[in-house]
Amino acid sequence: MSEQAPNEARVIPLRPPAGRPPATRPGRTRPASERPRTAAPQTVAPATAAPTTAAPATALGPPRPAATPQAPAAAPREPLWRDLVGDVLRRERLAQERTLKDVADAARISMPYLSEVERGRKEASSEVLAAAAHALGLGLGDLLSLAQGELVRLTSRRVPGGSRGRTGAPYDGLCLAA
């Protein structure tokens, strides 16, 4: 068990004191004769410090976080809706050989914003999506249907057996909630 009280925080200087050589890169250790001698760590008692589960400090550096059991490899994450919609918008725009400026002007939205929507950086409102879809000659339902088809295509590859969901239900509809 650590000699520190559970509610005390350690103060670790960010820079070595003047006159000491800088530490080497992580993963490389110096021979014991070349290692700087460290003073005992100073402690400060904060008002609301939670007990830590970190391993105690060693002469080689700050305390290491307590080992956490490794979780089994998680299944690949499903794609985000904004990424799917952005991909569909960009694919349709490029298929029509139109510039970003042309579509943004027709949709009456800024070109940088449309670019961010296409790249999945912004979660566009339904009004913006409808305007962009109409500028491309699509209805909002067409845009969402294409994005839903892309979602089904991407997720059916990841799930063993090709089922579309956890229950394996044959429903292939689109459901949006506000």
- pLDDT tens for 29-75 read 555 555 555 555 555 555 554 555 555 555 565 666 666 666 666 66
Contact of 114 with 104, CB cutoff 8 Å? yes
Cα angle: 146, vertex 148, 149; to 5 degrees: 65
pLDDT score for 158: 64
pLDDT score for 2: 55
Q: Residue 130: which of 118, 121, 140, 145 has the closest Cα?
A: 140
Provide, for the chain, the percentages of residues in helix, strand and coil under a 3-state DSSP scheme, each rounded to the nearest 5: 35, 5, 60
Residue 74 corresponds to which tokens in the numbers above?
Answer: 């998680």
Residue 32 corresponds to which tokens in the numbers above?
Answer: 């014991």
Contact of 151 with 84, CB cutoff 8 Å? yes
Segment 79-106 mean pLDDT: 96
- Residue 6, classed as helix, strand or coil, is coil
Per-residue pLDDT of 104-141, as tens digits, reads: 999 999 999 999 999 999 999 999 999 999 999 999 99
pTM above threshold 0.95: no
pLDDT score for 39: 54
pLDDT mean across residues, the chain: 74
Residue 143 corresponds to which tokens in the numbers above?
Answer: 């845009």
Distance CA 129, CA 135 (A): 10
